[in-house]
Amino acid sequence: MRALLDRIKEHEVLVGDGAMGTMLFSKGLKTGECPERMNLDLPEVLEEIAKLYLEAGADIIQTNTFGGSPLKLSQYSLDAKTEEINVNAVSAVRKVVGERAYVSASCGPCGRLLKPYGDVNPEEVSAGFERQLRAVVAAGVDMICVETMTDLTEATLAIKAAKSVSPTIPVCATMTFDPTPNGFFTIMGVSIKQASKGLAEAGADIIGSNCGNGIENMIKIAVEFRKHTPLPLIIQSNAGLPEMKGGVPVYPETPQFMAEQSRKLLDCGVNIIGGCCGTTPAHIAAIRKMVDKFNKS
Amino acid sequence: MDILQQLSEILQKGDADKVSELTKNAIANKLGPKVILDDGLIAGMAIVGEKFKAHEIFLPDVLLAAKAMYAGMDLLKPLLIKEGIPTIGKVVIGTVQGDLHDIGKNLVGIMLKGAGFEVIDLGNDVPPEEFIESAQREGAQVIGMSALLTTTMPVMKKVIDMTKECGIYERIKIVVGGAPLSAEYAQEIGAHAYCFDALKAVECVKGYIGVN
């Protein structure tokens, strides 16, 4: 398999996968259960999901390790199983995709706020990310995706942990922004300009945004990122914001709508397009089709 | 500058040590604890809430201001109790069972405390029974529930149904909030109010308890 960053350098646009959480729920995850517990109990479910996204045409398949840092797992008293949880997740995806797609280790927030806003020390957060990422690297991931961050310091710690565990594996880092009358900011007050600078300085190879917004806001976010960074960009949008219909959440953006809109992401120089909450293999398949046309042109 | 005005401004900057020092000064100057609380700490926190709502400041600023507020409140609490000054009301809050997201719930707690309410924070992943037991034991006037996950929202209905079963639904108000919620959903499950944000929660609770 050719190196991911080389393909981006040669102007190929890559396709990421879609939502994990909603897929897990549809396959038996119970409310309140630790999503990463599936990695211990039902790794075959992870294989099924990876297969669906691979068949939809994703070039990059994420592992079910979003909450796989020991700090986060400790909320479910599963921190002692950090290694097993992370290794199983990587193995399940690799088993399905082989060398047909890149296996990307998801690494979400640790779930605690750093001092002085919260109660946790940066050393503890770093050590946690290192432990998680050492496990996924040992299991053979192709890239690491630090995602859904809102605190730039925490994002920085995760990126540095990834680079300390492996200086060569590409690291992607995304943050989640909210629209405000003064532009986009994370809930912790990080602007896109600050994110562009901070994530790059920490050593990220690919930067961008995921979650929190539908595709239309994501286009604005991408435009803003492009103003501030020469690095490859990744955008993983929600399928809109959920609306409750008869007690069931419905994500309003259809595969076709997202794919059409995603064309605009390519115009502003986005290099990887995937999906977040509410996106399905059908969304990824539609985006794949659109991206294929672009790559050929 | 007036010491209470100064207290409000230092609180807004999130300087806990200075708030503690100014509160001590105010107490030494024989300003009553209720006045220090209302015109110093609560006044400052109200501005923090407004600025957060207007996106002029962000979560870290609110969290630091809250710490500063607590530093002052810890000094005032024994005096308020000694003088027999009651809190304006009691609210039980928590994130519902199965949900570990507590940033929104914590903000509501901060803003309610900042408005002078006594807040019993049950934390996250709170079983339905615990809301009921705590509200009864504490004699709370309001229960506030939060959920960030679409999958945990139905737990709110369970809690509301339980308040009906044990006969406290008529005398207790239930407010709900969280990213996936809507006013329609709140109404559907029988909540008394849907609070879009923490300030709205304060406004609702004030309305129920009869303070303005």
pLDDT beyond 90 at A94: yes
Nearest CA distance, B54 vs chain A (angstrom):
8
Residues of B in contact with A118 (CB under 8 A): 63
- CA-nearest of A251, A255, A258 to A235 is A258
Percentage with pLDDT > 70 across chain A: 100
Q: What is the DSSP string of chain A?
A: ---HHHHHHTT--EE----SHHHHHHTTPPTTS-GGGHHHH-HHHHHHHHHHHHHHT-SEEE-S-TT-SHHHHGGGT-GGGHHHHHHHHHHHHHHHHTTSSEEEEEE---SSPBTTTSSB-HHHHHHHHHHHHHHHHHTT-SEEEEEEE--HHHHHHHHHHHHHH-SSS-EEEEE--EEETTEEE-TT--BHHHHHHHHHHHT-SEEEEESSS-HHHHHHHHHHHHHH--S-EEEEE-SS--EEETTEEE----HHHHHHHHHHHHHTT--EEEE-TT--HHHHHHHHHHHHHHHH-
A57-73 mean pLDDT = 98
pLDDT beyond 60 at A118: yes
Q: What is the pTM of this model?
A: 0.91
Nearest CA distance, B101 vs chain A (angstrom):
8
B150-166 mean pLDDT = 93
Percentage with pLDDT > 70 across chain B: 99
pLDDT of residue B211: 73
B144-167 mean pLDDT = 93
| Residue A247 pLDDT grade (very low, low, confident, very high; cuts 50, 70, 90) | low
pLDDT beyond 80 at A245: no
B144-151 mean pLDDT = 90
Query: CB distance B59–A117 less than 8 Å?
Result: yes
pLDDT of residue B212: 57
| Among A28-37, B44-53, B75-84, B131-140, the least confident range | A28-37
pLDDT of residue A25: 87
pLDDT beyond 90 at A250: no
| Residue A251 pLDDT grade (very low, low, confident, very high; cuts 50, 70, 90) | very high
Mean of per-residue pLDDT scores for chain A? 96
Give the ipTM of the model, two decimals please: 0.86
Query: CB distance B57–A189 less than 8 Å?
Result: yes
Nearest to A244 among B54, B152, B185 (CB): B185
pLDDT of residue B86: 87
Tokens 């990744």: give the residue. Answer: A234
Q: Which residue in chain A is spatially nearest to B104 when comparing CA positions? A: A187
Query: CB distance A185–B58 less than 8 Å?
Result: yes
Give the span between the Cα atoms of A51 and A84, in whole angstroms. Answer: 22
pLDDT beyond 90 at A249: no
